[in-house]
Every structure is written in structure tokens, then in C-alpha cells.
Amino acid sequence: MTSCEVINPATEEVLRTVEFVDVEGVDDAVARAASAQRTWARLAPADRAAALRSFAAVVDAHIDELAALEVANSGHPIGNAEWEAGHVRDVLQYYAAAPERLSGKQIPVAGGLDVTFNEPLGVVGVITPWNFPMTIAAWGFAPALAAGNAVVLKPAEWTPLTSVRLGELAVEAGLPEGLLSVLPGRGSVVGERFVTHPAVRKVVFTGSTATGTRVMAGAAAQVKRVTLELGGKSANIVFDDCDLEKAAATAPYGVFDNAGQDCCARSRILVQRNVYDRFMELLEPAVKGVVVGDPASRDTEMGPLVSKAHWEKVSSFVPDDAPVAFRGEAPAGRGYWFAPTVLTAQRADRAFTEEIFGPVVTVLPFDDEADAIAIANDTAYGLSGSIWTDNLSRALRVSRAVEAGNLSVNSHSSVRYTTPFGGFKQSGLGRELGPDAPLSFTETKNVFIAVAESIGENS
Ligand code: NAD
């Protein structure tokens, strides 16, 4: 058993020391989960639904506590952290309806009755990144539990506190002991054990494309199911016929939300050449107006980066000779602060091609619709993106042509728990959220029941 110090990124103070689980600890938790799952799956659907609703109610009663923990552990602004805790409640509430709606099908066949059942997989391993610890955990555990599975959850090393608390709240809400186990630990220990343990039947992984590739390769050895939510380098495409003031005013929030530590960050702004100069004039005050500071303050729009190591990685994209167009403000002194930064990088530059995962955006002009689509798709990623135009036909044409899983027209929204979320290409595999998510935690079983021929006309 090892331990890890959890640091407040706004102050660099040690918040707590968290014990890390080892391989034996994972194996114990998986055994308990397998036993709890058998009991859970046998419960009446209405009872599983009620248990999930009571979990949602307990989360609702702890929104302030969960939000305060996320402010301290992740540096999320308080308003965002409250939204995230409320989102966990809503996701649980939404999937609480699923146990009574996983109805399977009755398929017409000759000679009998054919029905399908949506059988739970068993134990599901959920591995989360550090950028949105609570919400991403809930996207995995809520539909998995609703479909009759048990869950072992490994939070990221830097940000385990809200996940650990959610595990405690599940027990407080009356979920069977061991049904949802939160196991803080190293990716190379706990995460890898989820991949190699034969009783873990599916791994839901959210994180970098490099680690996701490794998880998928490891899972192949057991033909283990995977859902992968990976990196992004999304485009925000601004056409000359859009509301340019609104596009410029909102662009910073499409990329700097959560200090740019967002897989959906629109980190490549593509602007039609004939409005490029005007767009940059409008963008500058918008970027300088982003309020960066104490995450506990209600006025704050952007907090610090999550850790010193991540601060160094983001800084490497802005060397002294970087093509900086302009920057916003950030506090000096202790804390991993990084000012919102706008670069006029070229197409081949590292800042334009790699996921930075910080408050750094690149802006590039384009000539016409075909050019915009070609630049937007010139990446291995395909998670998200925005299209700004007042021409409906163009909006639809470009939406269909951009290779990404989540697009928004004249807005930067990506995530609603009622709609599917996930990536094209190397941004992932499978979809989370939306009405079908519980099905991705089931196997379809087909059962044919032969019906005997009638033995007499009136019998
Ligand atoms: P990461 O890949 O370093 O780590 C993610 C998780 O995987 C952590 O819990 C880590 O401990 C674990 N892990 C590390 N090595 C492992 C291994 N060998 N086997 C199993 N698990 C292992 O990613 P990160 O730095 O925490 O997160 C940032 C990345 O996540 C970015 O690329 C971002 O785009 C991506 N992300 C994607 C989405 C999405 O929904 N598509 C959402 C959030 C973040």
C-alpha cells in the first residue's frame, strides 16, 4: 500500500494524504463487487430504480460539500463545481428510470416465441481522468449500475477526493456494500488490474489517447468490452455570415472553460479570411475579460491548472518566441496559474496539432467552406466542435462533413446527459450518456422457445 499527497492547485497546500490501493486490494474489491452484483441483479427492477433515486437524493443533499471538495482538489470555480455535483445527481436520476425500461424485444419467428434479454455484464471497471472527476465517474457508474452491474471506480491520482466521497454516499443511500467501490491508486497498478482481471467484464476508460490505446490492447487479450473517451483538438469554425460579435464574445468560454482542461475544448479557432482581422479585434477584449482567480470566489470564471507537472506541460507550448497575439490576466504567486493565451500558430506547428489541455488557443484563417472542413478534419482526433453561421444549409453541410461526435451550431455546448457523447477517430470508441447508455453495459441474449403444435382443433 502506498499513499499520495493531494494538493490544492490554487494554493499548493497539501489537502490530504490518500492511501493507494494495491493489486490485492483491487482483487478483494472485485470479489466483493461480483458477489454484490449477483444480489443486485436479482432485485426487482423497481427496487433497483428506487435505490438509484435514493443515491441521487443523497448526492443532492451533499452538493455543497462535493462542490467545496472539487474547488479545493481541482481548482474548479465554485459555480462550475456546484453544476458538476448537480449533474451527478441528474445523471443518477435519469438512469434510475432504466431498470424498469430495459425491456428487450419479442421477435416474430416460425415455430415458437423469440425474446431477447439485456443481461448485465457483471463487474465493470471505470477509470477516470483528473479534469472532471465527478461527472465523468457518474457517466460510467450510473448507467452501469442501472443495467444491473457492479462497478469498481479508479479516480485519477491527482483528484480522488470527490469520487471517494461519492462511494461513501452510495453506501449511505443504501446501495449494497461493495456494489460501487472507489479504489484510488496508480494507473499502472489499479487501472491495469481492471484490464487484466478476468472478472472485470468491461472497462470504461476516459483519458489520453496514448493510455486508451494501451487499455484497448490489453483488453483484447480477453476480448474485454471497452468504451474509450479520449483526447481532442476541436475546431471552432467562424464563417463570415455569422453573428461575429457573439462568436468572438463566446469563443474564450468554448476553450478556456475549466482552464482549457476539457476534452471538448475548441482549441483551434478557424476564421474566414475576410472577417479575420475584425474577429481578432473583437476576441482580444473578450479574452482579457476572462476572470481568472480564486476558485472559491463566485466572480471567478477560470481557476488554476491542476498540478505543477501539468503547468509545465502547458507552458512548453508557449516558449518565449511563441506567436502570441494577446493574453489575459492571471494571479501571480503560489498556485498553478496560467493566463488565457491566444496564438497565431501555423498549420504544422505543435500548438496547432497537439492537444494542449490548457488555456491556450490557436487562431487560423481559412478561405472557403471546403478549406474550413479540410483544416477541421486534418487531425487524428474527432470529439467536438462548433460552427458559426447564419446560413442553415451551410450549417447542415458542415455539420455532416466535420468528422466529430459532438457538434454545436452557434453555441459551444457539448454535454447533455440526455444525448449521446463520444468521439470519432482517435477521440474514442463507443458512446456515453443519452437514452442508450445502459445498453452498452449489457449483453443481448436471444432465447427461442419452441411451441408445440396444436394436438386437436378444439384443444
Ligand atoms: P491519462 O491517460 O494520463 O489518465 C487517465 C486515467 O488512466 C487515470 O486515472 C490514470 O491513472 C489511468 N491510467 C494511467 N495509466 C494506465 C494504464 N496503464 N492502465 C489503465 N489506466 C491507466 O489522462 P489524464 O491526463 O488523466 O486526462 C487527460 C486526458 O483525458 C486528455 O487527453 C483529455 O482529452 C482526455 N479526456 C477525454 C474525455 C472524453 O470524454 N473524451 C473527457 C475528459 C478527458
How many residues are listed for the chain in this entry? 459
Confidence of residue 457 (pLDDT cuts 50, 70, 90): low
Q: How far apart are CA 84 and CA 78, in angstroms?
A: 10
Confidence of residue 414 (pLDDT cuts 50, 70, 90): confident
β-sheet bridge partners, residue 126: 153, 204
Q: Whose C-alpha lies nearest to ligand 1, atom 26?
A: 129
Residue 414 lies in a domain: no
Can you give the pLDDT at residue 455? 72
pLDDT by residue (tens digit) across 118-127? 999 999 999 9
Please state, for a pLDDT cut of 70, what percent of the chain lies above it: 99
Residue 22 lies in a domain: yes
Q: Would the CB of 139 count as within 6 Å of ligand 1? A: no
DSSP class of 316: T
Can you give the pLDDT at residue 103? 94
Indicate whether 242 and 226 sit together in one domain: no
Indicate whether 314 and 216 sit together in one domain: no
Q: What average pLDDT score do residues 369-376 get?
A: 98
Q: Would the CB of 187 count as within 6 Å of ligand 1? A: yes
The residue behind cell 503560489 is 334
Write the CATH number for 62: 3.40.605.10
Give me ligand 1 centre to Cα 187, in Å.
9
- Counting atoms of ligand 1 from 1, which one is nearest the CA of 156? 9
Q: How far apart are CA 263 and CA 406, in angstroms?
A: 11
- Counting atoms of ligand 1 from 1, which one is nearest the CA of 154? 9
- Counting atoms of ligand 1 from 1, which one is nearest the CA of 158? 26
pTM: 0.97
Indicate whether 136 and 269 sit together in one domain: no
Q: How far apart are CA 381 and CA 260, in angstroms?
A: 16
DSSP-based three-state secondary structure for 40: helix
Write the CATH number for 338: 3.40.309.10
Q: Using the predicted structure, report yes or no on whether residue 34 has a pLDDT greater than 80.
A: yes
Confidence of residue 458 (pLDDT cuts 50, 70, 90): low
Give me ligand 1 centre to Cα 430, in Å.
16
Q: List all residues 6 or more positions away from 202 whose beta carbon is below 8 Å from its beta carbon.
A: 121, 124, 125, 144, 224, 225, 226, 227, 441
pLDDT by residue (tens digit) across 188-244? 999 999 999 999 999 999 999 999 999 999 999 999 999 999 999 999 999 999 999
Q: Using the predicted structure, report yes or no on whether residue 459 has a pLDDT greater than 60.
A: no
Supply the range of the domain harboring residue 34: 3-230+423-447
Can you give the pLDDT at residue 82? 98
Q: How far apart are CA 105 and CA 251, in angstroms?
A: 45
- Best residue among 127, 159, 205 to mutate for probing ligand 1's pocket (most ligand atoms within 8 Å of CB) is 127
Q: How far apart are CA 357 and CA 441, in angstroms?
A: 29
Give me the sign of the Cα torsion angle 138, 140, 143, 144. Answer: negative
pLDDT by residue (tens digit) across 418-438? 999 999 999 999 999 999 999
Indicate whether 296 and 440 sit together in one domain: no
Can you give the pLDDT at residue 453? 84
Which of 82, 229, 301, 432 does the annotation list as catalytic?
Answer: 229
Residue 458 lies in a domain: no
Confidence of residue 247 (pLDDT cuts 50, 70, 90): very high
H/E stretch holding 123: strand 123-127
Indicate whether 243 and 378 sit together in one domain: yes
Residue 455 lies in a domain: no
Give me ligand 1 centre to Cα 293, in Å.
26
Please state, rounded to an integer, the average pLDDT across all residues of the chain: 97
Question: Which candidate, 398, 394, 396, places its Cα nearest to that of 373?
Answer: 398
pLDDT by residue (tens digit) across 316-348? 999 999 999 999 999 999 999 999 999 999 999
Residue 126 lies in a domain: yes
Q: How far apart are CA 98 and CA 43, in angstroms?
A: 14
Residue 89 lies in a domain: yes
Give me ligand 1 centre to Cα 313, in Å.
15
**Is 229 marked active-site?**
yes
- Counting atoms of ligand 1 from 1, which one is nearest the CA of 209? 32
Indicate whether 295 and 171 sit together in one domain: no
Q: Whose C-alpha lies nearest to ligand 1, atom 37?
A: 230
Q: How far apart are CA 288 and CA 252, in angstroms?
A: 9
β-sheet bridge partners, residue 366: 272
- Best residue among 74, 126, 131, 200 to mutate for probing ligand 1's pocket (most ligand atoms within 8 Å of CB) is 131
- Counting atoms of ligand 1 from 1, which one is nearest the CA of 228? 41
Show the cell assigned to 459: 384443444
Indicate whether 43 and 71 sit together in one domain: yes
Q: Using the predicted structure, report yes or no on whether residue 80 has a pLDDT greater than 70.
A: yes
Q: Would the CB of 27 count as within 6 Å of ligand 1? A: no
Q: Are 128 and 136 in contact (CB under 8 A)?
A: yes
Can you give the pLDDT at residue 454? 78
Q: Using the predicted structure, report yes or no on whether residue 456 has a pLDDT greater than 80.
A: no
Show the cell assigned to 458: 378444439
Can you give the pLDDT at residue 176? 97
Total domains, the chain: 2
CA distances from 259 to 170, 301, 356, 361 (A): 30, 9, 11, 11
Indicate whether 166 and 273 sit together in one domain: no
Residue 324 lies in a domain: yes
Q: Would the CB of 262 count as within 6 Å of ligand 1? A: no
Q: Whose C-alpha lies nearest to ligand 1, atom 43?
A: 263
Indicate whether 152 and 50 sit together in one domain: yes
DSSP class of 440: G
Indicate whether 369 and 350 sit together in one domain: yes
- DSSP-H helix ranges across 102-160: 133-146
- Best residue among 263, 429, 432 to mutate for probing ligand 1's pocket (most ligand atoms within 8 Å of CB) is 263
Q: How far apart are CA 246 and CA 21, in angstroms?
A: 48
Q: Would the CB of 381 count as within 6 Å of ligand 1? A: no
Indicate whether 380 and 430 sit together in one domain: no
Q: Whose C-alpha lies nearest to ligand 1, atom 16?
A: 187
Residue 65 lies in a domain: yes
Indicate whether 122 and 248 sit together in one domain: no
Please state, for a pLDDT cut of 90, what percent of the chain lies above it: 97
